[in-house]
Amino acid sequence: MARLLRLLHILHTIGRYRLDDLLRNPQSPRTLKMLLLAYRVYPKVDEPRGMRLRKAFEELGPIFVKFGQQLSTRPDLMPPDIVSELDRLQDNVAPFSSDLFIEIVERALGKPIDQLFKHFDREPLASASVAQVHTAELHSGEEVVVKAVRPGLEPTIEKDTSLLRWFAELVEKYSSEGRRLRPVEVVDEYRDTIFDELDLCREGANATQLRRNFEGSDMLYIPEVYWDYTRQNVLVLERIYGHSVTDSENLKANGIDLKVLAERGVEVFFTQVFDHNFFHADMHPGNVFISKLHPHNPSYMAVDMAIVGSLTREDQYYLARNLLAMFRRDYRQVAELHVLSGWVPKGTSVSGFEAAIRAVCEPIFEKPLKEISFGQALISLFRTARRYRMPVQPQLVLLQKTLLNIEGMGRQIYPDLDLWATAHPFLERWVRERFSPKALLKDFQYHSPEWIEKFPQVPHLIFDTVTEVKQLAQIAPQLKAASEALRDSESRSSRRLRNSVLNVIAFGLLGSGIWLALQESPQLGALSPQTILLLMTGLVALIIK
């Protein structure tokens, strides 16, 4: 009964915001058009489709808000106007009871709250769709934040995602645009992502790895995880204090060099992607702050490491070379790299793909470099590749979204940010160092224990291979004879099948002609042209069979 009521609420919300317009197009099947007619009873809403979709998600609650945020990370699938609107979804959800929060923490950590913390603030610091955060102080004096997963989320997620999947299946079945956007795949991906976010140990592990990667760096600070106080549904982190990344006036007032800050944000991103191969994939303004220390040498601080990404070594290399080639306008190399990397099928026409990339990129590069959106250029490149049957690359999708976030924040901080001027030398250095003698020696040292372990087996493997080759050479004549016999047998079967089909067709045509001839007249001259054609065709088919 509860599921039925929830379904009715969702259907009513679709009508209130006239989301049926997203499914209606001239190519829609008649059945879908008839079903959507029921929504005509709702008044028309004079708002852009993206805004209507965002408001509907906000009304339907936290799980749908989170789903909208997930959709906003798929610029490869969603239209730009919807992506930009869903980017505005805020995770400000009404907090749940502080008593219930304390009960969750006490049950997870096995002690009363006053034994765990010297001081605990009952007023929540932040409340989101998946978790709630309170501040506290450890008995040892460290200030911390305590994060706990909302209670009873799993049944709600199961119920709402099953309904979302049902809608996605309908959209995919009845809408050609829906099939292009692959909504079922998006819903399944969302379900996996949100269940991953329920595991705060995973988030803690991600934070620890990022902290280790930037240990001693003055570019990015990651708060410490207190593992003794962390469980699957509770996470305790060092509390940090910083400026909002979006408050440019406040940053200026505090003497922070905005140009350096914006360029350093780009450097942080590329360092994570290429040097560390482990990047924070949810770096929107709510998760990034500016340290109050050293305003002339500003650094970032990041929280909420639930979503991270990484690339294979091959993807790192091809991506770096793609970006360098794209900004040199060497579209031939871009096309060749896509084929070499396996991002598009091996049989793809390099010349045709090159022309398609040129058509997309040339208008972009007619602008001054500082006006070029690096992230949008990358998205345009991958969208073009999708037309050549490039499969979805989840790691590249995360990368696109993160790059858009970083670029957007950078330009908000310093509007004249020339992202390419910052990224270009970094990428050139990385590609150069990738094949330096030092890097090759490092790779050798990394793999040498495995090679040494396997080396004693090499003579046996060579001997076994030679033996197998000899055995194959001995039976090759028998295999060849068997292959020829099979080919002859298949040829005879094929001829018999062809003759049988021709017989059926010939006798069918001839029989039809004779039957019509008997119906029309026993005299040949009185037969109609259609009957004569049938008789002649049947006779010809019998002769050539």
Q: CA-CA distance, 152 to 275, in Å (whole number)? A: 40
29-60: buried (b, 16+ CB within 10 Å) or exposed (e) per residue? Answer: eeebeeebeebeeeeebeeebbbbbbbbbbeb
| CA 465 distance to own-chain centroid | 42
Those residues whose C-beta lies under 8 Å from the C-beta of residue 185, and which sit 6 or more positions away, are: 392
Residue 294 has phi, psi (to 5 degrees) of 50, 65
Instruction: Considering the candidates 76, 87, 282, 418, report the single residue annotated as catalytic.
Output: 282
What DSSP letter does each residue of 441-502 carry, written as one string? HHHHHHHHHHHHHHGGGHHHHHHHHHHHHHHHHHHHHHHHHHHHHHHHHHHHHHHHHHHHHH
Q: CA-CA distance, 322 to 332, in Å (whole number)? A: 10
C-alpha dist (Å) from residue 2 to 7, 77, 114, 150, 545? 9, 32, 39, 20, 68
For residue 19, give the amino acid letter.
L
Q: CA-CA distance, 414 to 325, in Å (whole number)? A: 27
What DSSP letter does each residue of 383-446 carry, written as one string? HHHHTTTPPP-HHHHHHHHHHHHHHHHHHHH-TT--HHHHHHHHHHHHHHHHTSHHHHHHHHHH
Which residues are paired to 280 by β-bridges?
A: 308
Residue 299 has phi, psi (to 5 degrees) of -135, 160
Residue 393 has phi, psi (to 5 degrees) of -110, 100
Q: Is 282 a catalytic residue?
A: yes
* β-pairing verdict for 220-221 and 300-302: parallel
What is the torsional sign of CA 202, 203, 206, 208? negative
Known catalytic residues are 282
